[in-house]
Amino acid sequence: MSSPTRSPQDFATAISGGVGSSPQRPDGALKVTGEFAYSSDLWHEDMLWGATLRSPHPRARILGVDITEALGMPGVYAVLTHEDVPGRKFYGLEIVDQPVLAIDQVRYQGEAVAVVAADHPETARRAVAKIVVDYQVLQPVTDAWRAVFDPDCPAVHEAGNLVRHQPVRRGSADDPAVRARADVVVTGEYEVGMQDQAFLGTESGLAVPAEDGGVDLYVATQWLHVDQRQLAPCLGLPPAQVRLTLAGVGGAFGAREDLSMHVHACLLALRTGKPVKMVYSREESFFGHVHRHPARLRYEHGATRDGDLVYATAEVVLDGGAYASSTPAVVGVASSLGLGPYRIPHLAIDAYGAYTNNPPCGAMRGFGAVQACFAYESQMDKLAAALDMDPVDLRIRNAVSQGDVVATGQPIDMPMPMAEILRRVRAMPMPPDREAGSDVRTLPGGVANTTHGEGVVRGVGYGVGIKNICFSGGFDDYSTARVRLQVVGGEPSAVVHTAAAEVGQGLVTLKAQIARTELGIEKVTIQPADTTVGSAGSSSASRQSYMTGGAVKLACEAVREELFRLASRRLGREHDDLSLVGGKVVSRRHGVLAALVDVLGDEVIDQTREFRHRATEMLDPTRGQGSSHVQFAMCAHRAVVDVDVELGLVKVVELAAVQDVGKILNPQALEGQIHGGSAQGLGLAVMEEIQVADGKIRNPSFTDYLIPTILDMPPMRIEVLEHADPHAPYGLRGAGEPPTLSSTPAIVAAIRAATGLPLSRVPVRPEHITGT
Amino acid sequence: MDFLRPATLTDALAAKAEHPDAVPVAGGTDVLVELNFDRRRPPALLDLTGVAELAEWAPDGDVLRIGAGVPYSRIIGELGSRLPGLALASRTVGSPQIRNRGTVGGNLGSASPAGDAHPPLLASDAVVEVASIRGARQIPITEFFTGVKRNALAPDELITAFRVAPADGPQQFAKVGTRNAMVIAVCSFAIALHPSRCAVGTGVGSAAPTPRRAPAAEEFLAGELPWGSRRRLSDAVTRRFGELVASAAAPIDDVRGTADYRRHALSVMARRTLTWVWQEHCEGGWPACA
């Protein structure tokens, strides 16, 4: 006798490796043992090597390019300039403004001027050195603020230096009557240096000319279809003839959203009729991708004596460098989330994105929100000090929650436990005090033995941030998944095919987990990502669990429905209470009806689905109002640091984080995201900066662009909350970016607490602390 | 590019004489990076890792003779108690993998002002042993560095070893970098007390065109230290010592730090390391001068 109160799991054993578990990643062992094939490992019989000639000047006219000698070198197959681009000569993610190869002028140091294909990489490099370019060097535009506001500043592009200005207004922040209600006012000017994504696998790929006149490109990227959309017009080919397959990606963090070597390798392959491989060197890579926008930020906050925010203003100037890349979207985030997760009745935000002759800036983990978070959290600490209030109490008092609106007027219609994560992060146990005679590796300076405790002062600081998840501002964002179910070798087996880029985040693992859970089977194969299936959108904006996860779930549901129809037909009876558990078709009322294998027989069920998140709106151009975001995510950090106040060296002793993810899909991968995001925020706080002087990069190497080591990144305490978002698949919330936002201000707040210094710029350098 | 790989020192010296523009490679942790960055395209590389006698060390009378090819990890493991200053400096070199490859001989060959081994070698009066087919000679460490990344080697010479006395007193080394490991020195400092002769040795790294000693600081301290006693040093002495060390430097502003910061950090490191060595001295165990 069956009971309707029993769950399907009571009838059959659920499979392992589904949603909520941490199955081993398929690429894990290969990566650890060094056997994983990255895009730089690609090889083709008879292939050529491409190399790029780059401008040494940030701004110059090109009076002439002489390729004669380079072309005449033995082993050289082609030397191409902009004249050889068969189709559209420009590309761009949001604004088509970047030349495939420089035309008559260069706008940044490192801009590609010509490309060479040769039978050996060294020959290609030598040929590049033989190209003679006649430059008329011009004074570069290097100050973003001046680029936007000074009418006498030279224009980097004909249309001017403003990429986007987005104002956001609520209430009347400039009304003197409003301002008069504030008992305490704090102002601050902040600066964020240019951070690099510092992925370990440099830009690389292999273009293979095809018999149909098209090209097959194997490349490390974040979004195959947006590459295809930009490449095809430049190559003068229909999109169907530009086929992309994802090659092994050695990290991304936003730096692979734009084209790099893709178009050059394709041009060379089509011209020579031979496969062409390109791999950037580490130094070239610093010039080969966009960086995080440096920012200058001016803030003012007014509050009552009790600590209620009355008004706030923010001006954020983001340096987009020579080409737009994703600057418009970065401005969108910096404006809409520019004052953070706080209830502010009267506010005015202005975010600007500028063209300059500095290195181009675009996507990097948490874009727009990272820069603003450092400023608004610094302001909250400053305000708390002015009010003589606990900084966490001040934040909790003003934190938004479900039912509130954000600065753009968008209602928060999902759980928003800002106050709870702040309370929880504060309540976490503190690390023990430093002991006398501590190992130098636990002290500032580490193995370099600069202190045995002298000058070391401990500080504690907090930070919280808010980030939008998925693409915003009215963009038609979707992902496609194809799922095929059939019996293979007597076992039910599913194949999942999407074009979504696995960039190290573990999406390959998650897609299989979702298929296992939805189809109740163990065996799932993930097909390589390519453009033979519809777009999955970008592996960015913390969106792939939501979007491609959502698409795989949807396609599995379609497969399941078809299977249930098949089951009903085979069993000769309609059932409306079926589910798939442990390879069996289970009726809630009648228990196990049949094995999946028997229901399927020789049938192949093959379903493709597009998943869309709910629609969003563009911000209105004058007051920046509109429901522009899909979902909000949040994380809070507490940083405990030891600062050697005499030498200005910092040891982050511990980072504690509380994050709400709606639903934990893979605990291990999630922990990795929180660790990694926090580490990237730590890097921005204390060491990571591309130093640019007069438009030129001074430290294009891992010798001088420092990223945290294991002695810099402390152990973490992590607590994860699961307040489900009713709009999202499984109730999940994107998780990759939020930890990157709040760790930076938390660490800087802790350094301020230890030193008593205002510290308005990141990364904090030793001389900022010592004053020398 | 030619790749020469001699198996004996005799062959290596012959190869160097025949190819004076060949660049010697020991661990490759400097040279190969330069090649990768395309900063250097030497006509030939002279790989010394096949020359077994370069990777040996042994006592030679009162001193230790340490082959140029002994890697940092062996200096730490095998010579740490006899050369504590050099071992401390060696621990700050790169990562474990780099310390397994990199050698003091290579550091001397590169002669970078930021070479981590240089300050402790300066502080303990090391002597660099070089050889060519013309014969061998010994160059005092203070005469070895001749300019930014330049040393006293003739084109046909190779560094075969360095000679240094085992510590006859406490030694310390400290290095400032903007990361807690795997970092090139913003500046560094080494100190060695020689209680048996009431002398002090110092070495300043990454704060002048070459690594250098701070002679005025050494002289001041040798005169001020209450050698025979276990008295705590006065703040005036440690502070003055720090100032004199800082004034011995001639740093520049660069991507790793400012000149002012380097001077400041040197004075702090000098004060602190002095305090540590003096405390160790007071704890006893080292022979004292009259």
Percent of chain A with pLDDT over 70: 99
Residues A467 and A562 in one domain: no
What single-letter DSSP state applies at residue A95?
S
| Range of the structural domain that residue A100 is part of | 39-139+200-288
pLDDT band at A17 (very low <50, low <70, confident <90, very high): very high
How many CB atoms neighbour CB B125 within 10 A?
Answer: 18
| Calpha distance B64→B70 (Å, rounded) | 13
CB contact under 8 A, B257 and A766: yes
Residues in A closer than 8 angstroms to B173, CB to CB, are: 449
Smallest Cα distance from B155 to chain A, Å: 28
Strands A649-660 and A631-644: antiparallel
Residue A359 in domain:
no
**Chain A from 431 to 460: CB within 8 A of any B CB:** 441, 444-452, 454-455
Strand partners, A458: A642
Residues 209-248 of B with CB under 8 A from A: none
A711 closest CB neighbour out of B37, B180, B264: B180
Contact across the interface for B36 and A712, Cβ inside 8 Å: no
The CA distance from A263 to A681, in Å, is 32
Residues A724-759: tens digit of each pLDDT: 999 999 999 999 999 999 999 999 999 999 999 999
Report B:43-82 residues touching A (Cβ under 8 A). none
Residue A4 has pLDDT above 50, yes or no: no
Rg (CA), chain B: 19
| Cβ-nearest to A711 among B181, B186, B256 | B181
Kindly list the residues from chain A whose CB atom is less than 8 angstroms away from the CB atom of residue B178. 649, 686-687, 706, 765-766
- In this complex, do B176 and A450 lie within 8 Å of one another by their Cβ atoms? yes
Long-range contacts of A143-147 (CB under 8 A, 24+ apart): A143/A356, A144/A294, A144/A296, A144/A317, A144/A318, A144/A319, A144/A320, A144/A352, A144/A354, A144/A356, A144/A358, A145/A296, A145/A317, A145/A354, A147/A319, A147/A354, A147/A355, A147/A356
Average pLDDT over chain A reads: 97
Partners of residue A646 in chain B, C-beta under 8 Å: 268
- A670 and A545 belong to one structural domain: no
**Nearest beta carbon to residue A450 from set B256, B258, B269:** B269
ipTM of the complex: 0.96
Q: Tell me the chain A residues in contact with residue B172 when contact means C-beta distances shorter than 8 Å.
A: 449
The verdict on A491 and A461 lying in the same domain is no
State the architecture of B171-283 in CATH terms: 2-Layer Sandwich (3.30)
**Domain termination site, one of A575, A593, A612:** A612
Q: Which residue of A444, A711, A770 is in closest CB contact with B261?
A: A770
∠ CA A668-A537-A673 to the nearest 5 degrees? 20
**Domain range summary for chain B, segments of one domain joined by +:** 2-40+58-164, 171-283
Give domain status of residue A336, yes or no.
no
Q: Which chain A residue has its CA at the smallest distance from B264's CA?
A: A772
Which chain A residues in 96-155 lie under 8 Å from chain B, judged by CB atoms?
125
Give B 17-36 residues with CB within 8 A of chain A.
33, 36
Query: Within an 8 Å CB–CB cutoff, is residue B138 touching chain A?
Result: no
**What is B2-40+58-164's CATH number, 2.60.40.10, 3.40.50.300, 3.30.465.10, 3.40.50.150?**
3.30.465.10
* CA B185 centroid distance within chain: 13
For residue A302, being part of any structural domain is answered with no
Judge whether residue A327 has pLDDT over 90. Answer: yes
Asked if residue A357 belongs to a domain, the reply is no
- Contact (CB<8Å) A449/B173: yes
Domain count within chain A: 3
Measure the CA–CA gap between A640 and A656, rounded to whole angstroms: 9
What are A525-539's pLDDT values in tens digits? 999 999 999 999 999
Task: Establish if A310 belongs to a structural domain.
Answer: no
pTM of the model: 0.97
**Which chain A residues are within 8 Å of B256, Cβ to Cβ?**
704
User: Which of B178, B264, B278 best probes binding to A when mutated, by most A CB atoms within 10 angstroms?
Assistant: B178
How confident is the model over A80-118, as pLDDT tens digits? 999 999 999 999 999 999 999 999 999 999 999 999 999
Q: What is the CATH number of the domain that holds A551?
A: 3.30.365.10
Same-domain pairing of A256 and A109? yes
Q: What mean pLDDT comes out for the span A123-128?
A: 97
Binary contact (B264, A770; C-beta < 8 A): yes
A703 touches chain B (CB under 8 A): yes
Is B175 in contact with A708 (Cβ distance < 8 A)?
Answer: no
> Can you give the pLDDT at residue A1?
38
- Count other C-beta atoms under 10 Å from residue A362's C-beta: 26
How close does chain B come to A284, measured CA to CA in Å?
9
Rounded to whole angstroms, how far apart are CA atoms B230 and A28? Answer: 58
pLDDT-above-90 percentage for chain A: 97
B179–A646: do the CB atoms touch at under 8 Å?
A: no
Claim to verify: residue A12 and residue A79 sit in the same structural domain: no
State the best of A711, A767, A768, A770 to mutate against chain B, taking most chain B CBs within 10 Å: A767
Q: What is the pLDDT of residues A40-73, one digit of tens each?
A: 999 999 999 999 999 999 999 999 999 999 999 9
At residue B290, the pLDDT reads 53
Tokens of A102: 């420089």
pLDDT at B289 over 80: no
Residues A752 and A733 in one domain: yes
Query: Which region, left, alpha or beta, applies to residue B183 given φ > 0 means left and ψ of -120 to 50 means alpha?
Result: beta
